[in-house]
Amino acid sequence: MTTNRTPSLVGTVDVDQAAANLKAAQQALLRARDEAHAARAAYDRARAIDPGSPDTLHALTVWREAELRQVDALAQLEHARDTLRAARRGTGSSPVPEAA
């Protein structure tokens, strides 16, 4: 299942679909977190063996890319959460962030 990254500007957002999108986004974040942890461990192992090797640099790159995917997954989760809130309120589109 894919989640829509752009807010709906017309019509109503289905609460059930928004809830399913939130659940999918939560699972994607967990997978991204696990991937980032594994990539960090691989980098730490490579650095312990030879800090200046091309393999260590590659492991660092893989870890940083995994971290970026984790940030993206978090942004998607926040969007899905906001969309579900909007659907529950019946506003029909992703809300503007609420003032604190």
Interacting residues of 28 by C-beta distance below 8 A, sequence separation 6+: 73, 76, 77
User: Helical H runs in 1-100?
Assistant: 15-49, 54-89
By three-state DSSP, how is residue 100 classified?
coil
pTM over 0.75: no
Is 97 domain-assigned? no
pLDDT score recorded for residue 2: 43
Residue 1 is inside which H or E element, if any?
Answer: none
- Exposed, middle or buried, 6 (CB in 10 Å: 0-12/13-18/19+)? exposed
Cβ atoms of residues 18 and 84 within 8 Å: yes
Is 16 domain-assigned? no
pLDDT score recorded for residue 7: 53
Domain coverage including residue 56: 25-89
Is 3 domain-assigned? no
Is 55 domain-assigned? yes
Q: How many domains, in total, are found in the chain?
A: 1
Residue 2's closest CA among 76, 95, 83? 76
**pLDDT tens, residue order, the chain (100 aa):** 444 444 544 456 689 999 999 999 999 999 999 999 999 999 999 999 999 999 999 999 999 999 999 999 999 999 999 999 999 888 655 555 554 4
Is 66 domain-assigned? yes
